[in-house]
Structure 1
């Protein structure tokens, strides 16, 4: 465990200070993605996360800070930001808690690399790459001001791609994505949750691909979560993991 500070969750230990533990988790963003996956998997498999989440729920100030940064994403999942040091790193939960999620995200990449582990349920994604004989898509450059909750889509011609891989992960399995990886997450049909470590932002925009001639769906603004909703979501996750 030489990469991590002493206040990081120790093997077979319990977090004594949830705020310091979350700060320590941000340090993982400075390690290779293979190390990130290994550590995220350890946290998930050894049941350390439930103790951390329970500690967070007892800390009124921390819950208030988390609620300010968390929201219900237009694509149907709760994005709970546990710790953030923008633009260097962020640790967050993605929770698909609501039935009948119908909004399927467009193919896209990210401003940053990330690693993620499935905590409960499952996660399915398709990976794409440029391909001369693949189908054509309209390409857009997406930009957003930090904290604005809105997106701007600028047309950027067309591109041809093909699906090169489909991945299906269950509880305890982890994966990583580079900023350039074009992908599309398929909404799970069951209660599912992932713990995600966002790495340093490397650019200010992302690519979004839509069927040829179509504009990406104009999603509404983020729906903010209050402290009660954050606590309830964390309790639901704790019960689902146990």
Structure 2
């Protein structure tokens, strides 16, 4: 747990080089846990938005996450609705590769794309989208590409989407759940004709995950 908390603090400080070694060590532990099929200390899941998510819970409000992205990953699920928000705030450090983060706002009328707002309900290895309220207008307000060594932050409740902009990327996130968001549900932006949907957040094939984690670990040690 000390190693996880130390990495959490390194993210807060944006210490990329120290983070590379720390993240590589944590991935070594994750590799052993996946190989033993031990999910008590770390969760490794394929995310519906297309990356491998490795998550350690520090306490009730804080977690550390490593996201492994690759163009050859087949985790993205349909319909592909990548615009979402979080009930936690986070700071992310790009350890390898490039990602683009776009930020959006909603309004009841005016310019933009008509969309429907969904809330996400989590049950075990599945996330269910529940349609809420009337359609709204969606507008993109910014788009920024972040490269190795750069950081960015997102506050809870801000709509965004993150996309891979290189062949491979590793990012590490420190997340903090604010007290006012306890019990709240995150939102996903979908098509106006969409209804309730369910996405799987299950572990991928064991050997595939082991190979992806090991590739990320080795890449981190090079830099």
Superposed pair shares fold, TM > 0.5: yes
C-alpha RMSD of matched pairs (Å): 3.2
Kindly report which structure 2 residues correspond to 1:64-213, keeping only aligned pairs within 5 A, or say none: 64-65=38-39, 69-81=43-55, 83-85=56-58, 87-99=60-72, 104-130=80-106, 132-145=109-122, 147-200=124-177, 202-203=181-182, 204-211=184-191, 213=192
Cα deviation, 1:165-224, whole Å, max 9, x if unaligned, reads 10100111111101121112224351111101111151421222224x232794531231
Alignment correspondent of 1:234: 213
Whether the 8 Å contact between 2:89 and 2:176 is mirrored in structure 1 is: yes
- Name whichever of 142-151 and 158-167 sits farther off: 142-151
2-side partners of 1:55 and 1:210: how far apart?
Answer: 37
The alignment partner of 2:122 has SS state of coil
1-side partners of 2:114 and 2:102: how far apart?
Answer: 16
**Counterpart selection for 1:48 from 7, 21, 25:** 21
Normalized per residue, the structure richer in strand is 2
CA distance 1:84–1:120, change in 2 (3 Å): same
Instruction: Tell me: higher relative CO, structure 1 or 2? Use CA pairs within 8 A at least 6 residues apart.
Output: 2
2-side partners of 1:54 and 1:205: how far apart?
Answer: 29
Whether the 8 Å contact between 1:96 and 1:188 is mirrored in structure 2 is: no
TM-score by length of 1: 0.72
Aligned residue pairs total 212
- Does residue 1:221 correspond to 2:203, yes or no? no
Q: List alignment gaps of at least 5 residues for structure 1.
A: 1-18, 29-35
Q: List alignment gaps of at least 5 residues for structure 2.
A: none
